[in-house]
């Protein structure tokens, strides 16, 4: 011992020594351990936000590549590149450089398409993530701020998309740009001033592509990046929500530690998302601007659509009637103002303020870290489905000319279907969802009270046939279960309570011993008899104050059966 | 009669072997037939094998001079008038109930055919739109009812008795593809879409896809303005410009999609479906799989 | 010479303060050295409020289950490497030992497959890395269930922090020294104004010269095609439409100048009902309407010559040509403006004046200028 100068606990390996050197300077061991030990709850739906994050990383990587080849200039040039059907056509530098990066840069088309697919995926995954947050009540106190940041991120992602797909200056996006110009003009009082400020004059001018470019590659990404950092810091500070279940309370998080399990899966998901974007980028053609042609204000194509995430606004614009409002003094509020600025503004404002609205309406001011099952909050779930249906009708109407064409329906009829549908269908969806929620709730309580349907039919001495039910826990003298509903999924099949041994592994031939599995399942206390002790844990959430009606579930009722 | 038809003075260099041979075989003499037959050899424009083509031309020329002079002059007149007669018979069997006995049209049934010319007949009958099955918002493309020879006869009859625009001859793709693209986007894309996919019009009508349209049909459509399509007369779009447009349309159709599957080349709607059904769909499966325990 | 000899190098007492403490006091290095990795791991976790409840062990070393899992993971990583290598081969090899990658619109061969192959190999490589990682985590790592305490806010923290903040504020004396507060507020506001003021560079007056209400059209300006050729009345057939531009420099790229010159069929002329005061705007059987939709500015011109309708492909507004291009369906509220036309001395179409109203989308003060 005396011969070595190493103090007890000092590392002897090279890496260990290097790590000690670093920690002596930066003192990171403590924070690093705290990060590695951070527990993340394990549920597939918690990965949806990660998809959005990884799409954004892919966008940054591929977008940076594209900036080296793209020239955001509107000055005219004559194309002389590789694509013969456009050779000799006058076009802007922006369009020409996009063609060049598609056809004259080795692998450029792949990167461009990856970028565009990742953009579509970015917005789509934000929407799916938002829907998950909404329906499980994850936005409730203390997470209202993070919800609001999320909504802002969604809006910024839309702006990012619009500025991005407008940049190639092709005939499709140019048509969209024309509509953006008209929307700006439609704003009451300041419309023309706003247009002059954005376009640097009358439409189309020669500034807009360059301005969109700097907004797209510098301003918006910087804001989005900053907001994502805040979004994640808040998540880490407030810890992730979790679904109710055995041992899960408002005051803990049950799941995997960051290292290694969670980090491994997160890294895996990044590669899978990147792989998907790359595969789509190569295998499915997106925005083939060489087919659209360069922008010319006198040209247009049938079936001009925006990218999917703007489709709902295109739809609302198609459906809104021609109601210009003429004010005294010869002022006009154009009809275009309502379905674009007002509808979009109202939708995102309501969305951002929804947590506050719900707090006001329900009077629920407590902090919540346990999620809710959508069925347990039928009003919110139905409102959400109603909003999604409304959005869906608008979205469909954004492509109603293509639907009319492909399915041989009258275009005018499609417009009317949308106009009536956006008013009639959402309330129907509300009512249907509400009933479904109540039905699912009742079934949960039915199973808690009477047990799982086993499918075993028994004939009573009186001749009556009854189905045998497997109670989930202790029963009272009438045979009614005494468990109360705690917000967690109620097992409804015998297999979910260990009615069957787990499957033997191996695809072509078993690779485990049957007896091992049997022993293992006994050891793990699977199976009915073994689970006796855990029964009262099965559905309890640990929050008696809310979720379900504890007085209901196990209450003895008049003997009927 | 034959006076309204420009004589089929096909320049030797633009006529490909298939066209001349088929004209020899059938010797109908109608210019449309010749042009149509010529068009059959799809990739004849590709001057990949100039030498082979020249050889074939020489051979064809020799063969033509050996066979044709003997009966060409007689045939031209005889087949012309017999074509009209046959055409009249066809007309009276299939068209007369809607278009009237003298091509004057029947109120609420069918328009007058006076002045529409053989171009309109070729377009309507060759695309199977006529004879109409039932009155709808617009007539749609169907398999043609009449054979090519019968269509030639109908064309001859209508041209002789109604007059109007005639069909062109020569290579209908002999144009500037880029200029054709500009003209297409200015004049055609608004209804037929960037890539000729067609699109919806008001109240159930639709501009048809150009997917199945051949050169001569596109040319005839521009010339005659079938149904709701505006007319593009030769003083508005010169024959050269029309050829350029056809060249552009057909080039796009034959061109590969360098970026992978074209997904109908229909733009953001199809792309949105792909990202939701394939992209989000695959990722949902993925994270579901990641979430389940081994 | 020790560091302590330098003047100023004494940061303070070498001895630890009274509040020093924590885990390093509880666990001496010797104690820590005596613990195995797992107990250190659990110990650290406990300090972070994490309790490992349950660990599903990975498959036993050497078991069939483990071998199968190892095989699967290695196959995934191997496939990833293979795909990545193929990517490199396609990327580098095209134009070298493979056919050229550069696509021409006539080539349906290798160059049309180039990008798809790149995407397939790149996607495959990345996705298989991900798949391998997932398999590894799921099948070869122990599956542990941990629980971490979530701390609610502490009243102690709130009280002490508030006291610190308020104490600091009291020391500045701002609540008392009102003048400083006010002047600082004034300076802050003015500085803010100064910083946003340069945004004024974006502001331009849209009302100078009425750019929205005027177009390049003017009296005597010829109607020309895209290629600059003028048009005579005989050039178009009845039932035709031609997009025309003013014969001025840049006329065919001006955003508001595109005009549809329509030759009506006799039936349409019989049904013609021009707008009030615009009966003489047409010439013979010709009428000319702005091509820019009055709704959102898309070029209309999906002209149905039998039903006399013009459809806008963006939002499906429909205009009736025989009724002064009045909107008959959809979201547009105004007729397409009509361009008054006549013939010049040489028999070509010319405009008699600019449009008498603003073309394109409606805006706030459109009626006023």
Considering only CA atoms, which of A189, A132, B235, A184 is closest in space to residue C237? B235
The gap from C-alpha A192 to its chain's centroid, in whole angstroms, comes to: 36
What pLDDT score was predicted for residue A60? 97
What pLDDT score was predicted for residue B165? 82
The torsion of the CA quartet C82, C88, C94, C95, rounded to 10 degrees, works out to -140
Q: For residue A255, list its beta bridge partners.
A: C146
What pLDDT score was predicted for residue A348? 95
Q: Is B198 in Cβ contact with A411 (below 8 Å)?
A: no
> Structure tokens of C239?
């039932």
Which B residues in the span 79-108 are in contact with C, Cβ-Cβ below 8 Å?
none
What pLDDT score was predicted for residue A146? 95
Q: Closest chain A residue to C27 measured between Cα atoms?
A: A9
Instruction: Render pLDDT for B25-73 as a digit per residue (tens, 0 to 9).
Output: 433 444 444 444 444 444 444 444 545 555 555 555 555 554 444 444 4
Q: Is the previous residue joined to C352 through a cis bond, with omega within 30 degrees of 0? A: no
Name chain C contacts of A542, Cβ cutoff 8 Å: none
Identify the helix (H) or strand (E) that includes residue A111. Answer: helix A108-136
What pLDDT score was predicted for residue B52? 53
Q: Is C138 in Cβ contact with B293 (below 8 Å)?
A: yes
> Structure tokens of A41?
């709850």
Instruction: Render pLDDT for A435-459 as a digit per residue (tens, 0 to 9).
Output: 999 999 999 999 988 888 888 899 9
Q: Is B190 in Cβ contact with C302 (below 8 Å)?
A: yes
Considering only CA atoms, which of A74, A58, A79, A53 is closest in space to residue A150? A53
For residues C126 and C160, the answer to whether their CB atoms sit within 8 Å is no
Interface test with chain A among C150, C153, C294, by most A beta carbons within 10 Å: C150
Instruction: Render pLDDT for A502-533 as a digit per residue (tens, 0 to 9).
Output: 777 777 777 777 777 777 766 665 544 444 44
Name chain C contacts of B256, Cβ cutoff 8 Å: 103, 107-108, 112
**Number of Cβ within a 10 Å radius of residue B74:** 9
A486 contact partners, CB below 8 Å, separation of at least 6: A244, A539, A540, A541, A542, A543, A547, A548, A550
Q: Is A303 in Cβ contact with B197 (below 8 Å)?
A: yes
DSSP state of C257: T
Of B201, B235, B255, nearest to C235 by CB-CB distance is B235
CA distance B27 to B23: 5
Which SS3 state, helix, strand or coil, does residue A190 take? coil
Instruction: Render pLDDT for B117-164 as a digit per residue (tens, 0 to 9).
Output: 888 888 888 888 888 877 777 788 888 888 888 888 888 888 888 788
- Which residue ranges of chain C lie beneath pLDDT 70? 1-22, 369
DSSP state of C235: G
Mean pLDDT of A263-288: 95
Chains in touch with C (3+ beta-carbon pairs under 8 Å) read A, B
Considering only CA atoms, which of A457, A387, A452, A463 is closest in space to residue A425? A387
**How long is chain B?**
294
Residue C54 in contact with partner chain B when CB distance is under 8 A: no
Taking the alpha carbons of A91, A94, A98, A104 in that order, is the dihedral positive or negative? positive
Q: Among the residues of chain B, which ranges form H helices?
A: 17-26, 31-40, 50-94, 96-99, 117-126, 148-162, 177-183, 189-192, 215-224, 239-254, 268-274, 281-291
Q: Check pLDDT > 70 for residue A358.
A: yes
Q: Is C235 in Cβ contact with B186 (below 8 Å)?
A: no
> Structure tokens of A202?
């009358």
Beta strands in A82-159 (DSSP E): 90-92
Instruction: Render pLDDT for B201-246 as a digit per residue (tens, 0 to 9).
Output: 888 888 999 988 889 899 989 988 888 899 998 888 999 999 999 9
What pLDDT score was predicted for residue C97? 93
Instruction: Render pLDDT for A464-492 as a digit per residue (tens, 0 to 9).
Output: 998 888 888 888 888 788 888 888 888 88
Residue B47 in contact with partner chain C when CB distance is under 8 A: no
Name chain A contacts of C128, Cβ cutoff 8 Å: 275
Please write down the HEC assignment for all residues of A480-511: CECCCCCCCCCCCCHHHHCCCCCCCCCCCCCC
Q: Check pLDDT > 90 for residue A318.
A: yes
Q: What angle do CA B239, B241, B244 make, to 5 degrees?
A: 110
Name chain B contacts of A269, Cβ cutoff 8 Å: 286-287, 290
Q: Is the previous residue joined to A391 through a cis bond, with omega within 30 degrees of 0? A: no
Residue B161 in contact with partner chain C when CB distance is under 8 A: no
What pLDDT score was predicted for residue B108? 78
**Distance to chain B for C167, nearest Cα, Å:** 51
Interface test with chain B among A402, A407, A507, A512, by most B beta carbons within 10 Å: A402
Residue A308 in contact with partner chain C when CB distance is under 8 A: no
**Distance to chain B for C329, nearest Cα, Å:** 9
**Distance to chain A for B271, nearest Cα, Å:** 7
Chains in touch with B (3+ beta-carbon pairs under 8 Å) read A, C
Q: Check pLDDT > 50 for residue A545.
A: no
Residue C177 in contact with partner chain B when CB distance is under 8 A: no
CA distance C315 to C331: 7
Q: Is the previous residue joined to C257 through a cis bond, with omega within 30 degrees of 0? A: no
What pLDDT score was predicted for residue A145? 95
Of A104, A183, A330, nearest to C367 by CB-CB distance is A330
Q: Is B193 in Cβ contact with A303 (below 8 Å)?
A: yes
Considering only CA atoms, which of C315, C208, C302, C211 is closest in space to residue C256? C211
Please write down the HEC assignment for all residues of A55-88: HHHHHHHHHHHHHCCCCCCCCEEECCCCCHHHCC
Instruction: Establish how many alpha carbons lie within 13 A of residue A479's alpha carbon, considering only the half-sphere containing its beta carbon.
Output: 9
Tell me the pLDDT of chain A averaged across its residues.
88
Which SS3 state, helix, strand or coil, does residue B148 take? helix
CA distance C298 to A177: 10
Count of B-C CB contacts under 8 Å: 96
**Distance to chain B for A299, nearest Cα, Å:** 5
Instruction: Render pLDDT for A160-173 as a digit per residue (tens, 0 to 9).
Output: 999 999 999 999 99
Of C103, C240, C318, nearest to B230 by CB-CB distance is C240
> Structure tokens of A396?
């469909």
Which B residues in the span 188-247 are in contact with C, Cβ-Cβ below 8 Å?
190-191, 199, 201-203, 205, 207, 225, 227-233, 235-236
First-residue to last-residue Cα distance in chain A:
79
CA distance A464 to C280: 92
C89 contact partners, CB below 8 Å, separation of at least 6: C98
Chains in touch with A (3+ beta-carbon pairs under 8 Å) read B, C
Please write down the HEC assignment for all residues of A341-373: HHHHHHHHHHHHHHHHHHHHHHCCCCCCCECCC
Interface test with chain C among B48, B258, B279, by most C beta carbons within 10 Å: B258
Q: Is B231 in Cβ contact with C240 (below 8 Å)?
A: yes
B53 contact partners, CB below 8 Å, separation of at least 6: B16, B17, B47
CA distance A150 to A229: 11
**Distance to chain B for C263, nearest Cα, Å:** 10
Q: Check pLDDT > 50 for residue A535.
A: no
For residues C245 and C225, the answer to whether their CB atoms sit within 8 Å is yes
Considering only CA atoms, which of A264, B168, A239, A135 is closest in space to residue C130? A264
What pLDDT score was predicted for residue C11? 52
**How long is chain A?**
561
Identify the helix (H) or strand (E) that includes residue C342. Answer: strand C341-343
CA distances from B9 to B23, B209, B241 (A): 13, 32, 21
**Distance to chain C for B230, nearest Cα, Å:** 5
Of C48, C202, C311, nearest to A37 by CB-CB distance is C48
> Structure tokens of C301?
């011109």
The DSSP code sequence of A246-269 is TT--TTEEEEEEIIIIIHHHHHHH
Of B262, B276, B288, nearest to A285 by CB-CB distance is B262
What pLDDT score was predicted for residue C22? 64
Q: Is the previous residue joined to A142 through a cis bond, with omega within 30 degrees of 0? A: yes
Give the ipTM. 0.90
What pLDDT score was predicted for residue B112? 82
Instruction: Render pLDDT for C33-90 as a digit per residue (tens, 0 to 9).
Output: 888 888 888 998 988 889 998 888 888 888 888 998 999 999 999 999 999 999 999 9
Residue A343 in contact with partner chain C when CB distance is under 8 A: no
Identify the helix (H) or strand (E) that includes residue C145. Answer: strand C143-149
CA distance B113 to C99: 55
Q: Is A401 in Cβ contact with B275 (below 8 Å)?
A: no
**Number of Cβ within a 10 Å radius of residue A38:** 22
- The structure tokens 């069957």 sit at A500
> pTM for the whole thing?
0.87
Residue C46 in contact with partner chain A when CB distance is under 8 A: no
> Structure tokens of A442?
């009742």
Q: Is C299 in Cβ contact with A82 (below 8 Å)?
A: no
Q: Is B200 in Cβ contact with A404 (below 8 Å)?
A: yes
**Number of Cβ within a 10 Å radius of residue C17:** 8
Considering only CA atoms, which of B165, B150, B143 is closest in space to residue B235? B165
What pLDDT score was predicted for residue A531? 45
Of C50, C123, C300, nearest to A275 by CB-CB distance is C123
Tell me the pLDDT of chain B averaged across its residues.
76
Q: Is C366 in Cβ contact with A300 (below 8 Å)?
A: no
> Structure tokens of C287?
């009428």
* Lowest mean pLDDT across B74-88, B255-269, C126-140: B74-88
CA distance A380 to A143: 17
First-residue to last-residue Cα distance in chain C:
89
Phi/psi for A62 (5° steps) reads -70, -35
For residues C232 and C349, the answer to whether their CB atoms sit within 8 Å is yes
Q: What phi-psi label fits residue B263: left (phi over 0), alpha (psi between -120 and 50 degrees) or beta?
A: left
Which A residues in the span 288-307 are in contact with C, Cβ-Cβ below 8 Å?
296-304
- Number of alpha helices (DSSP H) and beta strands (DSSP E) in chain C: 8, 12
């Amino acid at each position: 011992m005396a011969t070595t100068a190493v103090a007890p606990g000092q590392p002897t390996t090279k890496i260990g020594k290097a790590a000690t050197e670093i920690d002596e300077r930066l003192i990171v061991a403590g924070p690093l351990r705290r990060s590695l030990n951070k527990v993340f709850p394990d549920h597939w739906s918690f990965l949806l936000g990660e998809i959005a994050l990884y799409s954004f990383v892919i966008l940054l990587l591929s977008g940076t590549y594209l900036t080296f080849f793209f020239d955001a200039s509107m000055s005219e040039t004559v194309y002389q590149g590789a694509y013969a059907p456009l050779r000799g056509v006058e076009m802007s530098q922006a369009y020409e450089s996009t063609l060049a990066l598609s056809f004259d840069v080795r692998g450029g088309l792949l990167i461009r398409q990856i970028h565009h697919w990742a953009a579509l995926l970015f917005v789509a995954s934000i929407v799916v993530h938002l829907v998950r947050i909404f329906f499980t009540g994850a936005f409730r106190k203390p997470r209202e701020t993070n919800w609001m940041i999320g909504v802002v991120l969604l809006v910024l992602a839309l702006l990012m998309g619009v500025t991005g797909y407008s940049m190639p200056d092709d005939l499709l996006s140019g048509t969209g740009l024309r509509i953006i110009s008209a929307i700006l003009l439609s704003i009451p009082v300041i419309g023309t001033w706003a247009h002059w400020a954005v376009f640097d004059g009358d439409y189309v001018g020669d500034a807009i592509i360059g301005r969109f470019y700097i907004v797209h590659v510098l301003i918006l990404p910087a804001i989005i990046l900053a907001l994502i950092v805040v979004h994640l810091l808040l998540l880490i500070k407030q810890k992730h929500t979790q679904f109710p279940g055995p041992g899960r309370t408002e005051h803990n998080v049950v799941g995997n530690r960051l290292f290694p399990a969670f980090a491994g899966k997160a890294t895996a998901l990044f590669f899978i998302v990147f792989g998907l974007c790359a595969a789509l980028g190569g295998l499915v053609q997106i925005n083939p601007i060489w087919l659209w042609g360069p922008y010319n204000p006198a040209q247009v194509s049938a079936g001009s659509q925006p990218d999917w995430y703007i489709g709902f606004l295109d739809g609302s614009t198609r459906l809104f009637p021609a109601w210009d409002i003429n004010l005294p003094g010869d002022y006009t509020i154009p009809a275009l103002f309502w379905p674009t600025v007002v509808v979009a503004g109202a939708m995102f404002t309501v969305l951002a303020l929804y947590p506050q609205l719900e707090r006001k309406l329900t009077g629920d001011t407590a902090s919540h870290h346990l999620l809710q099952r959508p069925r347990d909050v039928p009003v919110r779930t139905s409102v959400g489905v109603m909003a999604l249906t409304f959005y869906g009708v608008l979205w469909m109407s954004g492509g109603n000319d293509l639907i009319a064409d492909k399915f041989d329906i009258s275009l005018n009829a499609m417009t009317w279907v949308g106009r009536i549908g956006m008013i009639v269908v959402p309330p129907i969806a509300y009512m249907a969802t509400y009933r479904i929620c109540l039905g699912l709730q009742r079934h949960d309580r039915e199973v808690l009270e009477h047990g799982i349907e086993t499918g075993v039919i028994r004939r009573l001495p009186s001749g009556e046939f009854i189905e045998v039910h497997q109670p989930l826990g202790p029963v009272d003298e009438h045979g009614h279960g005494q468990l109360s509903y705690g917000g967690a999924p109620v097992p409804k099949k015998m297999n979910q309570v260990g009615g069957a041994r787990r499957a033997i592994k191996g695809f072509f031939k078993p690779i485990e011993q049957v007896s091992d599995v049997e022993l293992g399942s006994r050891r793990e206390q699977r199976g009915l008899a073994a689970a006796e002790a855990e029964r009262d844990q099965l559905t309890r959430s640990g929050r008696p104050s809310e979720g379900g009606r504890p007085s209901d579930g196990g209450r003895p009722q008049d003997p009927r059966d | 009669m034959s006076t309204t038809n420009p004589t089929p003075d096909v320049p030797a260099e633009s006529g490909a072997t298939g066209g001349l041979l088929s004209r020899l075989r059938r010797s109908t003499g109608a210019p449309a037939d010749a042009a149509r037959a010529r068009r059959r050899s799809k990739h004849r424009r590709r001057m990949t094998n100039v030498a082979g083509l020249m050889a074939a031309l020489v051979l064809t020329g020799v063969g033509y001079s050996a066979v044709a002079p003997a009966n060409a002059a007689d045939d031209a007149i005889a087949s012309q008038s017999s074509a009209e007669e046959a055409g009249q018979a066809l007309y009276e069997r299939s068209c007369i109930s809607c278009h009237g006995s003298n091509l004057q049209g029947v109120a609420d049934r069918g328009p007058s055919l006076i002045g529409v010319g053989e171009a309109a007949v070729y377009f309507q009958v060759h695309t199977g739109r006529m004879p109409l099955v039932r009155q709808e918002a617009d007539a749609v493309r169907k398999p043609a009812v009449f054979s090519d020879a019968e269509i030639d006869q109908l064309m001859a009859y209508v041209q002789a008795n109604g007059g109007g625009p005639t069909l062109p001859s020569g290579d209908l793709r002999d144009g500037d593809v880029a200029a054709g693209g500009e003209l297409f986007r200015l004049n055609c894309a608004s209804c037929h879409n960037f890539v000729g996919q067609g699109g919806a019009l008001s109240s159930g009508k639709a501009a048809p896809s150009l997917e199945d349209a051949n050169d001569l049909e596109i040319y005839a459509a521009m010339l005659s303005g079938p149904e709701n399509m505006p007319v593009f007369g030769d003083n508005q779009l010169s024959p050269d410009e029309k050829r350029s447009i056809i060249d552009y349309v057909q080039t796009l159709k034959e061109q590969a999609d360098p970026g992978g599957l074209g997904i109908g080349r229909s733009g953001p709607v199809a792309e949105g479906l792909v990202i939701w059904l394939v992209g989000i769909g695959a990722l949902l499966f993925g994270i579901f799989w990641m979430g389940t325990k081994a | 010479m020790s560091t302590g000899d330098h003047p100023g190098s004494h940061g303070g007492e070498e001895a630890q303060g009274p509040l020093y403490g924590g885990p390093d006091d509880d666990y001496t290095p010797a104690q820590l050295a005596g613990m195995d990795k797992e107990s250190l791991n659990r110990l650290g976790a406990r300090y972070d409020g994490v309790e490992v409840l349950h660990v599903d062990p990975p498959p036993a070393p050497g078991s069939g289950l483990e071998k199968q899992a190892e095989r699967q993971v290695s196959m995934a990583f191997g496939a990833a490497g293979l795909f990545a290598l193929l990517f490199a081969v396609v990327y580098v090899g095209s134009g070298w030992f493979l056919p050229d990658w550069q696509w021409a619109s006539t080539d349906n061969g290798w160059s049309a497959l180039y990008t798809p192959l790149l995407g397939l190999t790149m996607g495959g490589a990345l996705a298989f890395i991900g798949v391998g990682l997932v398999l590894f985590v799921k099948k070869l790592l122990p599956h542990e269930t941990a629980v971490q305490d979530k701390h609610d806010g502490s009243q102690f923290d709130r009280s002490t922090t508030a006291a610190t903040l308020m104490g600091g504020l009291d020391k500045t004396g701002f609540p008392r020294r009102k003048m400083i507060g006010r002047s600082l507020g004034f300076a802050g506001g003015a500085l803010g104004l100064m910083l946003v003021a340069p945004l004024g560079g974006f502001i331009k007056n849209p009302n100078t010269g009425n750019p929205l209400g005027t177009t390049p059209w003017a009296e005597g300006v010829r109607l020309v095609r895209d290629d600059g050729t003028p048009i005579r009345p005989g050039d178009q057939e009845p039932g035709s439409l031609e997009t025309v531009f003013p014969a001025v420099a840049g006329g065919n790229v001006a955003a508001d100048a595109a005009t549809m010159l329509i030759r009506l069929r006799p039936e349409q002329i019989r049904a013609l009902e021009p707008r009030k005061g615009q009966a003489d705007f047409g010439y013979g059987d010709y009428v000319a309407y702005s091509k820019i939709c009055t709704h959102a500015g898309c070029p209309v011109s999906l002209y149905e010559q039998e039903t006399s309708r013009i459809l806008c492909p963006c939002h499906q507004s429909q205009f009736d040509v025989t009724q002064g291009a009045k909107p008959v369906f959809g979201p547009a509220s105004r007729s397409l403006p009509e361009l008054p036309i006549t013939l010049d001395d040489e028999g070509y179409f010319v405009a008699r004046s600019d449009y008498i109203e603003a073309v394109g989308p409606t805006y706030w003060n459109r009626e006023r200028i």
